[in-house]
Structure 1
Amino acid sequence: MNDVALADLPETARDLADLIGLPATLRLVRQLGGTSFPVAKGRTRMGVARFELLAEVVGEEAAEIITRHYGGEVLYVPRCHAALQRSRDRAIHARFDASIRSGASANQTVAELAREHQLSDRRVWDILKAIPPTVDQPALF
């Protein structure tokens, strides 16, 4: 899921990616996506605890950057569901194609993909039947 297209992300996530990088942003989205996070300035005991939580998710350097930029504000961390789903679907298509080219069974590959992505095999087949999403396709938000 590391091939999430920056253009697919909502504006808030793109802003965060500009500040702290895409990998740290994706960790933040996976851990806190869909929540409002009060970014403390780190001056009180509660502020220090919030900073430590943030640092645990994104790393200390990224937490410091977020605190400098958003300190005292409530930051809504978007879920980025559509972008993550498109990335997952691209990964499923790529892995299926590579497995088939190497001579693996389609049914076995689908079963593995279903377990890996915690999907039903029927859902994996549906994803494979759809036109594979490309990085340059516009996001449907």
Structure 2
Amino acid sequence: MHVKRNILFDELVEVVGIAAATALSRQWGGRVLYIAHKPTPGCPLAVVVGMEAAEVMARHFGGIHLWFPITQGKHSKVRRLRAEGISISEIARQTGYTVRNVYIILGQTPPAEADTPPLLAIMGKL
């Protein structure tokens, strides 16, 4: 059985500091990452925060799948990329969000939802 746990940004800051917490949140925010008991230099955690912070994370959360928080920094990146003229699909690819979530962050209705009549309207026409 896999143990999964959400972690709050403030808790992450207490464990590894603001720089590492921000890097983890930007890279893994909204997603889950397994924290190994003994991280290696090439593991996803160490690649993002370095071995020292990865070892600290392993002492606190080794053997757990952590859901990382999304920071406003990642939302800001979505807005910045869109302002630069980057397509919704490319923003989703670069940030790890779904296309639908990119639309939501931008405060827009995804096209499929905008064109879909409400269920009650459909049922009234039957």
Superposition CA RMSD, Å: 3.1
The 8 Å contact of residues 7 and 68 in structure 2, kept in 1 or not, is answered as no
TM-score of the aligned structures, taking structure 2 as reference length: 0.51
What is residue 77 of structure 1 aligned with on the other side?
68
Q: Aligned ranges for residues 92-131 of structure 1 at < 5 Å? A: 117-120=80-83
> Which SS does the other structure have where 2:70 is aligned?
coil
CA–CA distance in 1 between the matches of 2:18 and 2:66?
17
Which of 55, 61, 86 is the aligned partner of 2:52? 61
TM-superposed deviation, 1:19: 1.0
Deviations 1:73-93 (A, max 9, x none): 11111112xx3278x5xxxxx
The 8 Å contact of residues 32 and 66 in structure 2, kept in 1 or not, is answered as yes
Kindly indicate whether residue 4 of structure 2 is the aligned counterpart of residue 13 of structure 1.
no
CA–CA distance in 1 between the matches of 2:49 and 2:73?
18
- Structure 2 portions without partners, runs of 5+: 1-5, 85-126
> Which SS does the other structure have where 1:75 is aligned?
strand
Aligned residues: 79
The 8 Å contact of residues 26 and 74 in structure 2, kept in 1 or not, is answered as no
CA–CA distance in 2 between the matches of 1:24 and 1:59?
9
Where does structure 1 differ by over 3 angstroms across 4 or more consecutive aligned residues? Answer: none
Q: Taking every aligned residue pair, what percent have the same amino acid on both sides? A: 31
TM-superposed deviation, 1:120: 3.0
What is residue 125 of structure 1 aligned with on the other side?
none
- Structure 1 portions without partners, runs of 5+: 1-9, 89-113, 122-141
CA–CA distance in 1 between the matches of 2:73 and 2:34?
24
Change (3 A) 1:56 1:118: same
